[in-house]
Every structure is written in structure tokens, then in C-alpha cells.
Amino acid sequence: MKLRGERAKRLLHWAGGMLALAGILFVVLRLRSHAAEIDFARFTAHDWSALAGLATVYAAANVLLALAWRDLLAFCGEATGPRWAIRTYGISQLGKYVPGNIFHMAGRQALGMSAGLAAWPLARSALWELGLISVAGGLFALLVGSFVFPAIPVGLAVVLFVLASVFALWAALRLVEWRVARALGQQMLFLVVSGSVFIGSLALVMPAPPQFGLWPAVCGAYVVAWLAGLVTPGAPAGMGVREVVLLFLLSDITRAPDLILAVLLGRIVSVLGDALFFAAVFLLKNGRPD
């Protein structure tokens, strides 16, 4: 019986690793397809350095998602150490680029079970993660109000966003638990960083950077587009969906060619960031969950 259990763990470990490998393959293919659409001759060495920096920032921000998952996993009954959670999250994360949009969660489930964690808490934590980050992303829709309804000032939209965010954190704390509230805060911070990274990509291709007063609305547009890709069944990492929503929301702030290029750069930065995060956590020692 013990031998059978060890064999099952090895199979689960291999399954998680194969899903991660499939994610790497799709990352490479996506990078090649985007590269064919971009005129790289227009970018200087300074631009390349800036893009590398943005990708690094995005990679580091993934730690926030990993720690949020660790909090949710503990809330569901399986406490783990931060290093194991970060490594497991990072190794499985590239699975989101495989068509189906669920393979990163399947990989995490397999890797967690191979480490001895119970299946149901792992599955519940994935459901909580998906629901909670959808709530976090939905809050950013308030920032897009000035794009959809020009009569709404950006400042008012920011105030409404802050008030709604504080209420959501308070509700998670009072109605559920402090670890869920902390996970929600970490996810929101990740989305803020992601939106800021996209603003950086946009600034590289626009003749003049976006006005500072528009930054919150642009950040909100990016997160809303990301959320649309997240909830679209079968779209690997929201491929295609995110780009269409961004082009719709931001078409009035810059020329169409610059916007298309910025959207493509934003996708490349996020893909490179995920790949960097994978490479970094792969070097971590594969310790026990506790």
C-alpha cells in the first residue's frame, strides 16, 4: 500500500511538471507570434532595458499571488510554508498559457497532492482564488468610468474605487476571515502593479506619455481587460480577449498603431515576467510544504 502511494505521488509530480512544460512551450510559441508583428527597429537600447525592467517588476509581483494562494490554502485547512507555496505556484503558473485556461490550477493541484496535501483543500483554494481575484478585478471597473462615460471625472472614479476597495477588504475581514482579507489585498496590489507595468509599456510607444491624471483610468482599463480574459472559457491566459477589450477602451487616448503596439508589448512583458518568475522559483530548493 505504501509503495502504491509513493507511485501515485510520483505520477502526480510528473503530471504537474508536464503541465508546466506545456506552458513553457506555449509561451515560446506566443512570443514568436508577437515578435513577427512588431517592428523592433524602432526600439533603442534604453527601450529594451525599460522593457526588461518592466518584465522583472511583473515577475516579482507574482509573489503576491503566490502568497495570496498560500493564505487561501491555509484558510481551506492546509497550512504551508511561504517558500514551498511560492515555488509550487510559480512552477505551475505557466500552465495558464495552455488552451483551456485551467491547466495552471490543475498543475498546482497535482504538485500539491504529490507533496502530501489533501485534494479537497487544494481544490477549494483554487475556487476561492478564482472568485476572490474576480472580485478584486471587478473593483477596477470603477476606474474605467471616465472612458465609458466622459462626464465622470477621473478623480471621482478614483474616490469610488478606494471606497469600494476598503469596503471589500472590511467585508472579507468581518464576514469571512483575516487570511481571506489579506489574500484579497495581495491580489489587488498585484493588479495595481500589473496595470502600472502596462502604463510603462504604453509610455514607450506613445509620442508623449499618458497624462498623469489618466493613469488610474488606464490601469483600470488594463485590469478590466485582464478580467475579461480570465473569465473567458478556453482562452489561454486571456489571449486575444484582453487585447480586444484594451483596444476598445483606450482607442481615444492615442493613435491606433501606437495602441496596438503597446498592447502587444504589454502581452510580451507579462509573458516574459511569468517566464522569469518560473525560472526564479525553479532554482529554489524543493522543500516540504510545512
- Closest Cα partner for 145 from 158, 126, 131? 158
Q: Give me the pLDDT at residue 13, please.
A: 47
Could you report the per-residue pLDDT of 162-189, keeping only the tens digit for each? 999 999 999 999 999 999 999 999 999 9
Which cell goes with 228? Answer: 475579461
Averaged over 2-20, what is the pLDDT?
51
Q: Quick one: pLDDT at residue 258?
A: 73
Return the pLDDT at 23.
Answer: 46
The string of pLDDT tens digits covering residues 213-263 is 788 888 988 898 888 877 665 544 445 566 677 777 777 777 766 777 777
Better pLDDT: 282 or 70: 70
- The burial class, CB within 10 Å (0-12 / 13-18 / 19+), for 200 is buried
Q: Using an 8 Å Cβ cutoff, are 103 and 155 in contact?
A: no
Q: What percent of the chain shows pLDDT beyond 90?
A: 26
46, with CB counted inside 10 A (0-12, 13-18, 19+), is: exposed
Q: Where are the domains of the chain?
A: 2-282
Distance of CA 26 to the CA centre of its chain: 16
Q: Tell me how far apart the terminal alpha carbons of the chain are, to the nearest angstrom.
A: 24
